[in-house]
Structures are given as structure tokens and as C-alpha cells.
Amino acid sequence: MDKQNQSDIAAFPELFDGLEQFIDEQASELKKAGAWLSASALGGGMLLYFVISKLA
């Protein structure tokens, strides 16, 4: 009987069905969240700069 390495993915391929699609979807959502965060941080920073410059 062959001994299989416990880290061998080929031993249980059904556990990893759709894993690449899941990773791609998560990466896409992370990129969208990063874009929204950077856009809102830029807008908020500009607004804060405007308010501070009017007060000073």
C-alpha cells in the first residue's frame, strides 16, 4: 500500500473543487474594496483640507 503525504492535494481533489474560483472572487472583491477605500480617503482628505484652510 502506498503511503501518501498528508499535504498531497491530489489525495483529496474533491475538497479543492472551485478553490481557484473562490480565490479569484475574493481577490476581485478586495480590489473593489480597496478602490472604494482609497477614493473615500482621498475625498475625505480633500474635504478636511478645505475645512481646515477656511478656519485658519
Q: Quick: pLDDT tens for 20-50.
A: 999 999 999 999 999 999 999 999 999 999 9
Taking the CA atoms of 45, 51, 53 and 55 in sequence, report the sign of the dihedral they define. Answer: negative
**Over residues 2-29, mean pLDDT:** 79
Grid cell listed for 7: 499535504
* Rounded to 5°, angle at Cα 55 from 50 and 56: 100
**What's residue 54's pLDDT?**
94
